[in-house]
Structure 1
Amino acid sequence: MNFKQLTAFREVMLTGSISEAARILHRSQPAVSAQISSLENDIGIKLFQRKGARVVPNPEAHYLFDEATGILARLETVKRTLESISDLDTGVLRIVSIPGPSIFILPNLIADFTAKRPSIQTILASGSSVRVQRAIATQEYDVGLADFGFGIADESRLIDHEVIQFTALCALPMDDSLAQKEFVHATDLRGQPMAVTERNHPIHNQIRASFDEAGVPLNIRFEVQSFLPMFTFVERRLAYGIVDPFTAESYQQSNPDDQCIVFRPFLPKVDIPITLMSPAHRPLSIVAQAFYETLASHTREIRSKWSGEHI
C-alpha cells in the first residue's frame, strides 16, 4: 500500500468513476485502474464492483476510505509543516547567552528574525559562560554566545566553537576630559578608581597584565561578575570601566537618546574572544542554522564597528 494507491482510491470513492478520478488526478484512466487493482492485490480484498462506467464500493471500501482519508490528511499536514520549516516559517529556537547580549542585542535580533514568522517559538536563557558552554554541550540549546577562555569546555568535542576576537574599550562619562582622546591608555588611568570583571573571569587577568605592561598600578574599586553593571558606576562618576564591545553596543541600544557614557579603545590592547557555539553532534535545524548565521554576521558587524569607530 502506498501514497499513489491511496490517492487514486480516495478519488474513485469520491467520484464513483475511474475516468473522473483520472481527470482530477491528471493521470490516464489505465494508470488509475492499475493503481486500484494493485491496491486490491496488496490487501487481498475486492474493493469495487464494476457496473458499466461506474464503480460501486463494497462495504470494506468504506472502512478503508475513512482510514485512507485520515492517512492522506496527516501526510498533507506533514508536507505543509516541512515546507514551512524549509521556508523558515516554523520551528523552535533555543538560545543561551551570557547576560550582557541577552538583555538588548539578542532580543532585538530575535525580534527582527521572527517578526514575519509568527510560528517560530523562541527560548532565550542567560547565565555565566561556564553555564552557557555546558548547556550547549548537553544539547539543551541550539545556539550559544559566551566569553571564550574559561577552560571548562573550550576544547570540548561536544561543542562547535566559532571564536571572534574583540578588543576592550574604556567606558567613561561623556563630559570626562579623557573623552576628548582618540584612545585611553592605562597611564591615563593612573590612580583612578576602576570597575573590572571578577578575578575568576579570564579578562580580569588580561586587564591586570595590561596595567602591569604600562607600569601603572590597577586601582580596583568595583569588581563585578559581568560587564553591564559597570555602567552604573561609570555614569555616577565612581569609576572608569574596561568593557567588551558587545556590552558597549548593548548600552547604546538601551539608551539611544540619553547616553551619559562614551567608549574609547583601551591600550595596551586587551583581547576579548567571544565564541558562538552549537552542539557538535547534533545538526542544527534549518531555522536554528539560519539564526546562527544571522547572529554570526551581526557579531562581525559589531566587531567592525567598534574596531574602526570611536563613540
Structure 2
Amino acid sequence: MARINSRQVEAFRATMLTGSVTDAAALMAVTQPAVSRLLRDFQALLKMKLFEKRGTGLVPTAAATALYMEVERSFVGLERITAAAEEIRSRRTGTLRIAALPALSNGYLPRLAGRFLRERPNLNLSFFGVISPIVVDWVLNNQCDIGFAEVPIAHVGLSIVRLPAPPRVAVLPEGHRLAAKAMLEPRDFEGETFVSLTTGSTGRHLIDQAFNRDDVRRVLRVETSLSEIMCGLVSSGVGVAICDPFTAREFESRGVIARRFTPRIDFEFAAVFPPQRSPSPVALDLVEAMRQALDDIDGPMPGLSPVHP
C-alpha cells in the first residue's frame, strides 16, 4: 500500500467532524475541490468506501466510523503533544525544586512562590528550607534546580545571580526602651544584652564592625546561627539583636519589634544554579519575580512595627 498522506487523514477527520466537504474545507482553510481530491485519494489508497452521498451532505460508512476512532486517538495524542509544548513554552509545567536559607524560607519566599504557582497551574514545587552551605551543596549535586543562599558563595562553577539586598534591622522585645525611636544606631545599644550571630559568619563580622567602629560595648551573652532562634530569644526578653528583615517581619506579631538601623548593613544573598547546565527557564522566571518584588521594597522591609508616642 502506498504511504498515506497526513493531509488526507486531516481531510477525512475534518469531514467526519463537520459532515460536509464544504465545512471541512473551511475548517482546513483550503478549497472544496482540494478536500474532495484528498478524500478521493484517501479512499483509493485504503481501497474502501468511506462516505455515501445523501442529499447535499455525506454520511460516513461503518468502515469510516471504525477508522475515525483510530484516527481520533492519533489526533488526541498530537493535540496532547501540542498542549505540552505550549505548557513548556509558557513555563507552566514540570516540577521546580527550590532550596533556600531559613531567612527566606520561613515566610517570605513561600508566599512569593505561592503567587508564582497560582499563575502556573500545572507547575509543581518541591521546597526545602536549609542553611546556606547545604543549599550550595544540594545545588552543586543537582538535587535542586535553584537555591537561595547568603553570600559570599565560594564555589567555582556555580552560576550565581545576585539579588537586591535589603538592609538588616534592629529587633527588640515588646516594651523595650529603644522601641520609642524610629531609627537606631550603635550607641543606642551601649550596655545592652545582645543576641549575636555565630562567630565567623559574614553577618556577625559586619555587625560587630559597625559597633566596634563607634566603640560601643554590648553584653554578648548569646549567639546562634539561625535568625529564627535569634528572634525567638529576643521575643523572650533576653536581649536585642540586628537581624535580616525577612525573619524580623515574620516575628513582628510574635513579641518582636523591628526598627531601622544605621549604618546600613545589607543582607546579601543570591540565586544559585547547578553547574554544567543552563538554568531552568521557570527558575529564571522565579528569580525575576523575586527581583521585582525586592525592587519594590524602598529601603527597609515594609511592615516594620510602628512607633507609638
- TM-score if structure 2 supplies the norm length? 0.77
Shift of 1:6: 3.0
1:131 aligns with 2:131: no
Residues 4, 143 of structure 1: alpha-carbon distance in 2 compared, 3 angstrom cutoff: farther
Partner amino acid for 1:79? Answer: T
Partner amino acid for 2:83? Answer: R
Aligned to 1:70: 73
Aligned to 1:214: 214
Report the RMSD for the aligned CA atoms in angstroms. Answer: 3.7
Aligned to 2:237: 237
Q: Which region of structure 1 is more displaced relative to structure 2, 160-169 or 124-133?
A: 160-169
Confirm or deny: 8 A CA contact 2:139 2:272 kept in the other structure. Answer: yes
Mapped partners of 2:5, 2:241: distance in 1 = 67
Q: Alignment partner of 1:215: what SS?
A: coil
Residues 300, 265 of structure 1: alpha-carbon distance in 2 compared, 3 angstrom cutoff: same
Aligned to 1:296: 291
Residues 219, 83 of structure 1: alpha-carbon distance in 2 compared, 3 angstrom cutoff: same
Shift of 1:224: 1.2
Q: Alignment partner of 2:268: what SS?
A: strand
Aligned to 2:166: 166
Q: Alignment partner of 1:271: what SS?
A: coil
Q: Which region of structure 1 is more displaced relative to structure 2, 196-205 or 16-25?
A: 16-25
- TM-score if structure 1 supplies the norm length? 0.77
Aligned to 2:265: 270
1:32 aligns with 2:38: no
Partner amino acid for 2:112? Answer: L
* Cα deviation digits, residues 222-264 of structure 1 (max 9, x gap): 2112211112211221111110112222224xx2xxx532222
Partner amino acid for 1:296? Answer: R
Q: Which region of structure 1 is more displaced relative to structure 2, 107-116 or 234-243?
A: 107-116
1:284 aligns with 2:284: no
Mapped partners of 1:165, 1:104: distance in 2 = 17
Q: Which runs of 5+ in 1 are unaligned?
A: none
Q: Which region of structure 1 is more displaced relative to structure 2, 219-228 or 85-94?
A: 85-94
Confirm or deny: 8 A CA contact 2:145 2:279 kept in the other structure. Answer: no
Residues 187, 14 of structure 1: alpha-carbon distance in 2 compared, 3 angstrom cutoff: closer
Confirm or deny: 8 A CA contact 2:97 2:145 kept in the other structure. Answer: yes
Residues 211, 51 of structure 1: alpha-carbon distance in 2 compared, 3 angstrom cutoff: closer
Identity of aligned residues (%): 25
Residues 38, 299 of structure 1: alpha-carbon distance in 2 compared, 3 angstrom cutoff: farther
Mapped partners of 1:199, 1:35: distance in 2 = 79
Residues 5, 220 of structure 1: alpha-carbon distance in 2 compared, 3 angstrom cutoff: farther
2:109 to 102, 106, 125: 106
Aligned residues: 298
Residues 86, 2 of structure 1: alpha-carbon distance in 2 compared, 3 angstrom cutoff: farther
